[in-house]
Amino acid sequence: MYILYVTVNALPFGDEFVPGVDNSNKWVVLCSGSNGWGNYGDQAIVYRAYHLFRSYGIPEDHIIVFHYDDIAYNSQNPTPGVVINEIGGPNVYKGVPKDYTGEDVNPKTFLKVIQGDKELANQGKKVVNSGPNDHVFLYFGDHGSPNMVIFSNGVLHADELNNAFVSMYKNNRFAKLSIYVDTCYSGSMFNKILPDNINVYATSSSNYTELSWFWNYDDKLHTYISSFFANNWLVNDEENDLDKETLQKQFEYFKQHSVVNYTQYHTTHPIHAQQYGDLSISKLTVSQFLGHKPKGQTNTVTKWEQNNEAVNKWDVSLDLLLRRIDETEDIDEKNGYLRELENLYKGRQYVDKHMTEYLNSIQHLMPNIATNAILHTKQELNNRHCYRQLVDTFHENCFDLTKNSYTLRKMDIFVNICEHLGHDSNGVNTAVDHLLQYCRHNIQPEFATNIV
């Protein structure tokens, strides 16, 4: 299904500043942590946001962009140098700075940048050089799992991010900070972790056990070019007077736009955006973080073609492969895609097999709970120390989470193990040691990569 939005006053594309408005106390960091053609939408939304906020008057040296930069000239791109975020829309890649690209898109660098790292600044790199009177806005889009978000080059854990916020608060690095996170399980980055007294307000695309969604499939590019939550965010900005639209009103907009269509399975799914931290900040207007629209730009909407096709971020690789099989009429191409599909399922079965076998090896630690319940239920994470030990052991010795996105959906198993073990330190140590030994003796490195 396609929807066409038309407006007389379409968004001006370029850097247009509001005369007489000082935005020097505002800082914006836009981060797409992912790479690869299947994750096209993560980078495209960041490019679109960059142009939008520059047009609202955010100074060029106050807006920092993280993007892997492998989409514009990707071998699968039929229009090299062009990236779009709306079907038929403008090239959002043009003019986007290469502040941090490739291997520099990683958790350590991200945390350094938002905290104003002097070493990076001395190297001539952009950092958030904010002070006690400044407003900081952060956006992150990629994949996620309980208590973490995934970069293409590393894992950012919830405690690391929230500890950075506490440090910034203590060092007077902002007056107010707002962060939007668009990943699966994004609520788990803040749920019961983010303090409500450090002037930080967080909005997540989903709660702590829900998926997030790519959106707007382009049949010419053969990928999803946007993200459901982030698109709603930018459309809300475009449609409203930012001097009147508050962060709370924007959150209400997210709640009103909360159902996605999973096209491959002809189903609909709710997605519940969440708020965390200092909720009083939500009373502030969007303009206090993202700048002001030029005269005549207020209340404009996107004029480009859209569709409502979506896929959860975890299953985008499978979805795109099934589409390729369905779309191609060339028998050799179809057979090639079918072989890819067979390998994809084999990889998933390989992970499933080893997760079940490992769980069976520690079943004696949890005699009162069935293996099937550990494998297929979702509990709220409270035993974070236990969970972090299992996740780190798994990531370092079993399957690299950044290279095997299918494994992200298995992290609930570690949540369940830890919640059942509780504060039994001996049990936790045994579970961690069993995982280490199991992977060393059973996981073959040549099979433990690119399982999506």
Which residues touch 349 (CB under 8 Å, ≥6 apart)? none
Q: How far apart are CA 228 and CA 308, in angstroms?
A: 9
Catalytic residue among 51, 62, 135, 143: 143
**H/E run at residue 169:** helix 158-170
Q: Give CA–CA dist 233/437, Å, rounded.
A: 45
Q: How far apart are alpha carbons 237 and 38 in whole angstroms?
A: 26
Beta-strand relationship, 26-32 and 63-66: parallel
**Burial of residue 267 (number of CB atoms within 10 Å: 0-12, 13-18, 19+):** exposed
Task: Give the separation between CA 114 and CA 30, rounded to whole angstroms.
Answer: 11
Type and span of the H or E element at 187:
none
What is the rounded distance in angstroms from the CA atom of residue 60 to the CA atom of residue 18?
14
Q: How many CB atoms lie within 10 A of CB 245?
A: 17
Q: Which helix H or strand E contains 310, and what residues bound it?
A: strand 309-312
Measure the CA–CA gap between 344 and 335, rounded to whole angstroms: 14
Q: How many CB atoms lie within 10 A of CB 347?
A: 19
Q: 406, 452 in Cβ contact below 8 A?
A: yes
> Of the candidates 165, 272, 209, which has an alpha carbon nearest to the alpha carbon of residue 415?
209
Nearest to 384 by CA among 150, 108, 158: 158
| Residue 206 structure tokens | 């989903």
Residue with tokens 């975890």: 314
143 is catalytic: yes
One of 184, 386, 398, 418 is an active-site residue; which one?
184
Of all helices (H) and strands (E), which one includes residue 237? helix 228-239
Query: Is residue 313 a contact partner of residue 329, using CB atoms and an 8 Å limit?
Result: no
What would the two tokens of residue 151 be?
């970069």
What 8-state DSSP symbol labels residue 4? E
Instruction: Check if 398 is active-site.
Output: no
- What does the block give as tokens for 315? 């299953």
* Catalytic residue annotation: 143, 184
